[in-house]
Structure 1
């Protein structure tokens, strides 16, 4: 999974008391904007622009802000409301949609994917050395399917995609690419290996069971319109909402990939466009009973799954989320990261949702400082 360093950094922050105590003010808007501006103003970290939302009714925080620019060209200042491709954060939305279908009794998490995917895809998987009858929906959700990751299993996919940025990829081509460029990692359920391939298959299952396109399925199952998530849409598979500001640019190093056909990361592994406010609104809704019909569905989503090969300080795997518990604080954070420098997380102890986006995926301490501020406010409330 990309950005494992971030999990490690947050785990350290949650686990240790800071040797250098920082004194923060109680004006949350001013303090959080100051963090953004100070980090964006550092000349050595390569930061071009950042946007941030922090929502915590419990701590009286309702902040959305930005600093810097929306592109490497630095021609336009970054506005806090600007949308961006969220990449793998989409997987949390897909996992939540699968659980909504579970609530509707349209599937069981232990069902094999062979019950739902097309005959064409079944044949491709079998030819690639997999047994779809043994791979369950839960295996795909927890990245324990053994499926090779077509997107980041190796450098081949990005190399191929960069040859023709305008190519319109299909789900079938991406599954086939996984078969041609990698081998099964392990038997289903035995090992954890991050896999976009499993999530594009989950996207197919949503389409089949919701009897709609993936965009319509996500919007309906997750109540985007009801929640007021007006900046969130599945790019190229549904109409872009009217009135949105231009998207924040997307880069691979110095390469401007903003105009690459978004099918390169679509169909379930990625594909959604959103902004930090909508992402935090979604997390608030998810953790406060406004998406699932039954309270115990969230418990199912957050059930911990351990693996023998999990490294020290790395996240526990949940359905869609990774999670970390601070060794000393005992606080838990649920989170996911995305390829383009996107992160969102929820801290249940303080009912706090945080979403962050980097224009160019530079190195900053915004998240660490933001969490430190939240913890300080929490201590004062306790």
Structure 2
């Protein structure tokens, strides 16, 4: 990885950049200052270092929502590397029996759906979180503690399979809730503890990362940020609305960038072939844009990996440049501008696929 260092003092942001990457230094410096003033933090990480700022800074914990999926998928790949799970195994025998029965009653053949298909969003699982009824439902019961089974039941009651198993990409929070259930049953641990143990999170210098409800907030973390969708303060909703694998992690942008870099630099896995397997590309429709837990964009013939979170978070890794970028806003309304900023930082042009 190229060596970037951003640090904050009273006079402003100081920076040192490796000579071969110095061309992006002025652009990155301007963008970081602008977005910190707008209640948004961007961390451009090399060797685990990042920028810091004023309003919402890179050490402020936020709910990262679907950015969680990347690390849930990495946990499954870690279990695969240890030969504790077969990615091409049917999910039926791996699931909690009550959840398996729910899916069968809803028209899913769980003896044909595989773990790999869940990870690549090609299992055809209806997405309860994308249903127009979901946000209204959770807003009407902001303090309700939802269970995994509750959320799977919503998917089954509200919709039928999105497509035939293994034929097309259909993004599904529900599918990753099933992955969370499988992880718990294989490891015998709550999902948060299983992810922490399998990815050895405590070895990566993370100071503001935990799984809501399942783990205590670290003493090194500051107060979680307030996050909004327009005028709605979504951070007051019970964490169980997005907890069981589709989301659930709270992280600072510094930690998100650091862990993203660790993943794509092979530091979370024992063997290089594990990361290669995570970046497997299927033959189903839409497979060119998503691997196992991560989106892909092609830039000048090079793949760049990314994911985002519903409340306004992003993480990118550009292998050709050795750059990891993570960003967060405190209002979902700023999401498109945040993406533009992050993509400029890693060198993605507007015309990238």
Contact 1:83–1:273 at 8 Å: present in 2 too?
yes
Contact 2:35–2:42 at 8 Å: present in 1 too?
no
- Aligned counterpart, 1:264: 241
Change (3 A) 1:81 1:132: same
Contact 1:64–1:276 at 8 Å: present in 2 too?
no
- Distance in 2 separating the partners of 1:34 and 1:343: 19
| Residue among 183, 190, 194 paired with 1:217 | 194
Contact 2:68–2:245 at 8 Å: present in 1 too?
yes
Matches within 5 A, 1:278-297: 278-297=255-274
Matches within 5 A, 1:97-246: 97-152=75-130, 154-246=131-223
- Aligned counterpart, 2:50: 63
- Aligned counterpart, 2:303: 332
- Distance in 2 separating the partners of 1:62 and 1:166: 37
- Distance in 1 separating the partners of 2:169 and 2:212: 29
Change (3 A) 1:243 1:175: same
Structure 1, unpaired ranges of 5+: 1-24, 42-47, 68-76, 377-382
Change (3 A) 1:289 1:340: same
Q: Deviations over 1:213-244 (max 9, x none)?
A: 11110100011101121211101111111132
Change (3 A) 1:87 1:114: same
- Distance in 2 separating the partners of 1:27 and 1:142: 36
Question: Which piece of structure 1 moves more, 192-201 or 248-257?
Answer: 248-257
CA RMSD of aligned residues (A): 2.2
- Aligned counterpart, 1:248: 225
Could you tell me the TM-score, scaled by structure 2's length?
0.87
Could you tell me the TM-score, scaled by structure 1's length?
0.80
- Structure 1 residue matching 2:125: 3-state secondary structure: coil
| Residue among 277, 292, 295 paired with 1:319 | 292
- Aligned counterpart, 2:17: none
Q: Deviations over 1:119-147 (max 9, x none)?
A: 11111111111111111000100101111
Deviation at 1:185, TM superposition (A): 1.3
Deviation at 1:36, TM superposition (A): 2.9
Deviation at 1:32, TM superposition (A): 3.0
Matches within 5 A, 1:295-310: 295-308=272-285, 310=286
Q: Does 1:51 align with 2:47?
A: no
Change (3 A) 1:335 1:375: closer
Deviation at 1:352, TM superposition (A): 0.7
- Aligned counterpart, 2:328: 357
Higher RCO, Cα 8 Å, sep 6+: 1
Deviation at 1:66, TM superposition (A): 3.5
- Distance in 2 separating the partners of 1:325 and 1:127: 40
